[in-house]
C-alpha cells in the first residue's frame, strides 16, 4: 500500500493523517487516526473542529475519509452528536467511514444506532478494500 501526501498539505498535517492515493488495491482515501482515548464534553469542540477540517480536506480532493478509531476507548453522547452532525452537514460529495473501533466503542455505536448510520469496518484495510471495490 502506498501512502503519500499532496504537497499543499505537507506543512499542516499531523502524523495521524495518511493519504492513500490510487494504487491497484486501494481507492482514493484519506486515513485519519483519532488519537484521543475518549471523546466527551471536555474535548468535543476540539474534536468537532478536527473532524470538520479532515472532512473538508478529503472532500476537496475527492477522497473518502476513513476515521481510524483504534486508539479511541470511549465516545460519549457529545462525540456521537458530532459524528451525526458532521454526517448531516458534509453533503453528498463528502464521505467518511469509521474503521477499527475498539470493543467498547463498537458497543456504544450499536447501542446508539450509529452503526446503522455509518459504514463501520473492523479495520482500516477492510475499509480501503470496500472503498476500492465500490469505485
Write out pLDDT tens, residues 52-104. Answer: 999 988 888 888 999 999 999 999 999 999 999 998 887 655 588 999 999 99
Cα separation of 93 and 109, whole Å? 24
pTM, full prediction: 0.80
SS3 content of the chain, % helix, strand, coil (to 5): 45, 20, 40
Task: Say what the pLDDT of residue 12 is.
Answer: 38
Gap between the Cα atoms of 135 and 115, Å rounded: 22
Q: Residue for cell digits 478509531?
A: 69
| Dist CA 56 CA 124 (whole Å) | 20
Closest to 97 (Cα-Cα) out of 72, 133, 127: 127
Q: Domain 7-134: which CATH class? A: alpha beta
Domain boundaries, the chain: 7-134
Residue 16 pLDDT > 80? no
Average pLDDT score over the chain: 81
Amino acid at each position: 500500500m502506498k501512502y503519500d501526501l499532496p504537497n499543499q498539505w505537507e506543512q499542516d498535517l499531523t502524523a495521524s493523517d495518511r493519504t492513500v492515493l490510487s494504487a491497484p488495491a486501494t481507492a482514493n482515501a484519506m486515513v485519519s487516526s483519532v488519537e484521543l482515548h475518549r471523546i466527551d464534553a471536555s474535548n468535543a469542540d476540539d474534536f468537532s473542529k478536527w473532524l470538520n477540517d479532515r472532512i473538508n480536506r478529503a472532500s476537496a480532493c475527492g477522497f473518502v475519509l476513513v476515521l481510524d478509531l483504534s486508539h479511541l476507548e470511549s465516545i460519549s453522547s457529545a462525540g456521537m452528536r458530532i459524528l451525526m452532525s458532521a454526517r448531516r452537514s458534509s453533503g453528498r460529495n463528502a464521505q467518511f467511514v469509521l474503521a477499527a473501533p475498539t470493543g467498547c466503542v463498537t458497543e456504544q455505536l450499536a447501542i446508539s444506532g450509529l452503526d446503522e448510520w455509518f459504514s463501520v469496518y473492523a479495520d482500516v484495510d477492510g475499509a480501503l478494500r470496500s472503498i476500492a471495490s465500490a469505485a
